[in-house]
A and B are shown apart, each in its own frame.
Chain A
């Protein structure tokens, strides 16, 4: 399960909506960080120990595809998974982004169920007793 997630989208509404979906999907105790474009997300990724980056594609300054390329080519960010959520995704675009290293590509509108399908199970294992 991811401990720190960066959400990159130029829309505050979209960032808030993804946060709410993540919380409903079980990521309610995860640290959620926000970035309003690719450059800001990259700076956050470089300074915080994030393990998942959720990004939109159509953003000013640095778009999601450029961000994905930068993350996947950076030796410092080897463990950082990238999930793309966008209105601009098509099967052709999805294949291209997965080729570049995206964990998954989801189309808007996003729902908690869609997130749960692609993110690791968030249900905590039952407590076991030893001896």
Chain B
């Protein structure tokens, strides 16, 4: 990972951390446990073959068919995509927090709307980290989906976070972002 992408990751994690603390009172911690990440991505190690195989529906609903994602396209001053992806279980729990719901289960439309709002908020915090205060920024409307998130372009960053035992994945796609010179003082000095 290049130094610039490391700074982008730090900035993204700070934005995520701030958002989760404010809207859900939850702490975010970056994870590097590859086995947990593999399970989140719908892969399980087959002890006989030694290879990872697709395994939907594992780890409390974190299989590939039980995920929700939201994607936000950045337009200016840099273009690219940021994506957030979580298990259905966590997406549902977050939706209940944001709506102030009781025990009833939210339907998929509500969950997808919550995911969009979550990413909108993270995106705003992320851009404030990157873009000088005097400069404006612009993006589109979030797009949401259920199942595995797929993109034609190679991600420049994939990072996984632990939120009270659940995994949240964030992805950045777009060469324009990886080339963006990250020199905002708060990122250079800040720590997650």
Residues in chain A within 8 A of chain B (CB atoms): 10-14, 16-17, 20, 58, 60, 86-93, 107-109, 111
Residues of A with C-beta under 8 A to B125: 87, 109
Report which residue of B22, B117, B123 has the largest number of chain A beta carbons within 10 angstroms of its beta carbon: B117
Residues in chain B within 8 A of chain A (CB atoms): 18-19, 22-23, 95, 98-100, 110, 113-114, 116-117, 120-121, 123-125, 127-128, 131, 133-139, 141
Is chain B's binding surface mostly helix, strand, loop or mixed?
A: helix
Instruction: Establish whether residues B136 and A58, one from each chain, have CB atoms under 8 Å apart when the complex forms.
Output: no
Instruction: Establish whether residues A87 and B123, one from each chain, have CB atoms under 8 Å apart when the complex forms.
Output: yes
Given contacts A13-B98, A58-B141, contact A91 B120 (CB under 8 A): no
Partner of A90, one of B22, B110, B135: B135
Instruction: Establish whether residues A13 and B136, one from each chain, have CB atoms under 8 Å apart when the complex forms.
Output: no
Residues of A with C-beta under 8 A to B128: 90, 107
26 A–B contact pairs at CB < 8 A?
A: A11-B116, A11-B120, A12-B113, A13-B98, A13-B113, A13-B114, A16-B99, A16-B100, A17-B98, A17-B99, A17-B117, A60-B141, A86-B124, A87-B120, A87-B123, A88-B124, A88-B137, A88-B139, A89-B124, A90-B133, A90-B137, A92-B136, A108-B124, A109-B19, A109-B22, A111-B22
